[in-house]
Amino acid sequence: MNIPLDLLKKLIRCKPVSDRIDQVNAAESVMRNYLESKGLYCVTEQIDGRSVLYASTLPGKVQDFLLNAHLDVVPAPEEMFEPVEKDGRLHARGSSDCLGNAVCIAEVLCRCAGKASVSAFFTADEEIGGSTTAAMVEKGYGARKMAIILDAAPYAIAHAQKGILTLTLRAHGKGGHSSEPWKLDNPIDRLVDGYVKLRDAWPALPADSHWGNTMAACILRAGSVSNQVPDTAEMLLNIRYISEEDGQRIPARIREITGLEVISGMSSHPVVVEESHPMMQALKQAMERRFPGHPIEFIRMDGATDARHFVRLGVPIAILGTLGDGMHSSGEWVDLRNLQDYAELLTAFLTDGK
């Protein structure tokens, strides 16, 4: 049986850009209609106006294995939502990130029906934070043995990804007319001085490894006109961290170094699963059997996926990916044969009785 290419094309033509909730909901409906026609158990949850599809081989919110991919995509020119098949690849927005992966999961569910306890949910806002994934876990959808997310590099198992903190540095001062700076206490100067201290104090990562805490300044806000010094200035930092302990200590340490007000924003947990876990080793062995020409490695991700929302399930989490390229760009594509290979891999792994 081949990957259902017509399903993938229908999902792409829904144009399910994250902030177009009606279009993402349409993609969820397309996926539900397909899986119900194949005899899968399906439930659609409504989360802040977004539809999220849960499908399983058996009734119930918790199965042995939980699969996940998202049906929302980033914006693209209109022509990218008309898929083009060429040389075994499908070119279109979402073909690789992440609609091809979602269709791969749909195929796995169909193949596992009557053979294994497997479920999946197809979330609706991963590209803008993944709150629907977190909500599905809150609603009790989970796994007894393992969660597998398709949203990473091919021929590897991502067993760890960094957590995220957004922190706002706020400097206070005394504003006034820019022609009389000696009368003022410019908060922009305070902000810049504090940031320079922080940048100089932040530990450098070794050249051969990026697995460490990182800090990047992303947004600056200060003033509104050219002849007035403001009373406050702000900078938003994006912090990526590797342990829960680091996530807890970093805000206080930044406050100490900069002398500025530090305001916490968004946060998400890091994901760290031991490579030696029996389920992770079993998956690695299954991949080595399926892809003998490719060394299968455990890797750690600098970026974040919806895997962070599954930490509370207390089961091992593996992040996999199919062969494609150009995610979030005008050159996005997915390898159709590889989608089929991964469907066969996952079906064999999920039905072997482990």
pLDDT of residue 137 exceeding 70:
yes
Query: To the nearest whole percent, how much of the chain has pLDDT over 90?
Result: 94
**What pLDDT band is residue 89 in, cutting at 50, 70 and 90?**
very high
End of a domain among 206, 241, 268?
268
End of a domain among 268, 290, 311?
268
Q: Whole-angstrom Cα distance, residue 219 to residue 234?
A: 8
Q: Whole-angstrom Cα distance, residue 297 to residue 318?
A: 12
Query: To the nearest whole percent, how much of the chain has pLDDT over 70?
Result: 99
- Tell me the Cα Rg of the chain: 23
What integer best gives the mean pLDDT of the chain? 96
pLDDT of residue 260 exceeding 60:
yes
Q: How many other C-beta atoms lie within 10 A of the C-beta of residue 324? A: 24
Does residue 268 sit in helix, strand or coil? strand
279, 354, 339, 278: which is closest to 69 by C-alpha? 339
pLDDT of residue 112 exceeding 80:
yes
Tens digits of per-residue pLDDT, 163-202? 999 999 999 999 999 999 999 999 999 999 999 999 999 9
What's the angle, vertex CA 334, arms to CA 331 and CA 339, rounded to 5? 175
Q: What is the pLDDT averaged over residues 109-120?
A: 97
Does residue 335 sit in helix, strand or coil? strand
Range of the domain at 327: 5-161+270-350
pLDDT of residue 1 exceeding 80:
no
pLDDT of residue 70 exceeding 90:
yes
260 and 296 co-located in one domain = no
139 and 29 co-located in one domain = yes
11 and 95 co-located in one domain = yes
CATH of the domain at 226: 3.30.70.360
Pick left, alpha or beta for residue 328 (phi over 0 → left; psi -120 to 50 → alpha; otherwise beta): left
pLDDT of residue 353 exceeding 80:
no
**Confidence (pLDDT) at 114:** 95
b/e map 192-225, b = 16+ CB within 10 Å: bebbeebeeebeeeeeeeeebbbbeeeeeebbee
End of a domain among 237, 268, 299?
268
pLDDT of residue 354 exceeding 70:
no
Tens digits of per-residue pLDDT, 196-221? 999 999 999 988 889 999 999 999 99
Number of structural domains (the chain) is 2
Tens digits of per-residue pLDDT, 31-59? 999 999 999 999 999 999 999 999 999 99
